[in-house]
Structure 1
Amino acid sequence: MSTYRGNRRTARATRRSRWFLAGGLVAGSLVAGVAGVAGVAGAAPNLPAVSDAPALVLRGADSGAGHRDDLREQRRGDLGGRDSGDWDGKPRDGRTERGPQPGRRGEVPVPCDPAKLIAALVRANAEGGAHLRLAPRCTYELTHAFQQPDDYDGGIRDAREAADSAENPGDAEAPPRNPQHDKAGLPVIYHPITIRGEGATIVRDVHAEAFRFFTVRDGGELTLSDVVLRNGLSAAEGGSIHVVHGASAVVERTTVVGSTSLSAEGGGGGIFNDGNMVVTDSTFVGNRAAGKAGKGGGLLNGGVLSLRTSKFHDNSAVAYGGGLGNYRGAAEVQKSAFAHNNAEQGGGIASFSARTRVADTKVLGNTAQTGGGIANSDALIFLRGMEVRDNTATGNGGGISTFQGLLPLDDSVVAGNTARGSGGGIHALKSNLLVRNSEVDRNHAVGAASKGGGVFASLGQVSLYTSRVAGNSATVKPGGLFAEKARVRVDDETDIIDNEPTNCEGSLVPVAHCFR
Structure 2
Amino acid sequence: MSNYVAKNNAAEPEAAPKRRRKLWLASGIAGLTGVVSIAAVGVATGAGAVGSEGLRWSTAQQVSKDGDRGAAEREEHQGKKDGEEHQGKKGGEEHQGKKGGEEHQGREDEREHRGKEVPCDSDKLIQAIIFANENHGGVLELAKDCTYRLTRSDEHGNGLPVIKENIVLKGHETKIVRDATAHHFRILTVGRGGHLTAKGLTIKGGQTAHHSLHGEAADAVWSRFSNSVEATKAAQAGQEYVPLLQAKPKGEVLKSAKAETEAATLLDGGSHAGGGVLVHAGGTAKFEETHILGNQASSLGGGIANFGRTSLHRTTVADNTAFFFGGGIFNAGVLQVSDSRVINNDAIIGGGGIANGAAFIFHRDVDGGTTWIEKTEITRNETLGFGGGLLDIEGTSAVKHSKIADNTAALAGGGVASAGDSNFELTHVEIAGNSTIGVGGGLALALGAIANVEESKIVANKAGFFGGGVFTAIAEATFRKSEISGNRAVGPLGVGGGIFTVLSEIDLDKTRVAHNFATRRPGGVFSFLSDVDVDDKSAITANKPTNCEGTLTRVPRCFG
Q: 1:340 to 1:11 in 2, by over 3 A?
A: closer
Alignment-derived partner of residue 490 in structure 1: 534
Contact persistence 1:446–1:474 (CA under 8 A): yes
Alignment-derived partner of residue 370 in structure 1: 412
- In structure 1, distance between residues paired with 2:294 and 2:351: 16
Q: 1:480 to 1:89 in 2, by over 3 A?
A: farther
Alignment-derived partner of residue 208 in structure 2: 234
Q: 1:288 to 1:71 in 2, by over 3 A?
A: farther
1:69 to 72, 81, 95: 81
What TM-score, normalized by structure 2, do the two folds share?
A: 0.69
Residue identity in the other structure for 1:248: T
Alignment-derived partner of residue 359 in structure 1: 400
Q: 1:452 to 1:69 in 2, by over 3 A?
A: same
- In structure 2, distance between residues paired with 1:467 and 1:66: 80
- In structure 2, distance between residues paired with 1:483 and 1:12: 81
Larger Rg: 1
Residue identity in the other structure for 2:483: E
Contact persistence 1:396–1:421 (CA under 8 A): yes
Alignment-derived partner of residue 458 in structure 2: 414
Q: Cα deviations across residues 378-398 of structure 1 (Å, max 9, x unaligned)?
A: 210100111111111111100
What TM-score, normalized by structure 1, do the two folds share?
A: 0.75
Contact persistence 2:114–2:141 (CA under 8 A): no
1:278 to 275, 299, 311: 311
1:244 to 264, 274, 280: 280
Alignment-derived partner of residue 311 in structure 1: 341
Q: Cα deviations across residues 220-243 of structure 1 (Å, max 9, x unaligned)?
A: 100001111111001311001111
Q: 1:505 to 1:191 in 2, by over 3 A?
A: same
Kindly state the Cα deviation for residue 66 of structure 1 after the two structures are TM-superposed.
9.4
Q: Cα deviations across residues 130-166 of structure 1 (Å, max 9, x unaligned)?
A: 1111111111111111x3xxxxxxxxxxxxxxxxxxx
Alignment-derived partner of residue 133 in structure 1: 141
- In structure 2, distance between residues paired with 1:91 and 1:360: 51
Q: 1:138 to 1:11 in 2, by over 3 A?
A: closer
In structure 2, list runs of 5 or more residues that go unmatched. Answer: 1-62, 85-90, 210-271, 358-367
Kindly state the Cα deviation for residue 449 of structure 1 after the two structures are TM-superposed.
2.6
- In structure 1, distance between residues paired with 2:541 and 2:282: 52
In structure 1, list runs of 5 or more residues that go unmatched. Answer: 14-64, 73-81, 148-179
Q: Cα deviations across residues 46-96 of structure 1 (Å, max 9, x unaligned)?
A: xxxxxxxxxxxxxxxxxxx99962999xxxxxxxxx99x98x999932699
- In structure 2, distance between residues paired with 1:484 and 1:12: 83
Larger RCO of the pair (alpha carbons < 8 Å, separation 6+)? 2
Contact persistence 2:521–2:545 (CA under 8 A): yes
Q: 1:185 to 1:102 in 2, by over 3 A?
A: farther
Alignment-derived partner of residue 346 in structure 1: 387
Alignment-derived partner of residue 76 in structure 1: none
Q: 1:513 to 1:186 in 2, by over 3 A?
A: same
Alignment-derived partner of residue 387 in structure 1: 430
Residue identity in the other structure for 2:134: A
Q: Cα deviations across residues 307-350 of structure 1 (Å, max 9, x unaligned)?
A: 00111111011111101111121010001111111111100000
Alignment-derived partner of residue 267 in structure 2: none
Contact persistence 1:322–1:348 (CA under 8 A): yes
Kindly state the Cα deviation for residue 9 of structure 1 after the two structures are TM-superposed.
3.8
1:396 aligns with 2:396: no
Q: Aligned with 2:141: secondary structure?
A: strand
Residue identity in the other structure for 1:122: I
- In structure 2, distance between residues paired with 1:430 and 1:91: 72
Kindly state the Cα deviation for residue 473 of structure 1 after the two structures are TM-superposed.
1.0
Query: Aligned pairs, how many?
Result: 414
Contact persistence 1:102–1:128 (CA under 8 A): no
1:515 aligns with 2:548: no
Q: 1:134 to 1:67 in 2, by over 3 A?
A: closer
Identity %: 35
- In structure 1, distance between residues paired with 2:339 and 2:73: 57
- In structure 2, distance between residues paired with 1:411 and 1:485: 27
CA root-mean-square deviation? 3.0
Q: Cα deviations across residues 444-487 of structure 1 (Å, max 9, x unaligned)?
A: 11223322110111112000011111110112211101111111
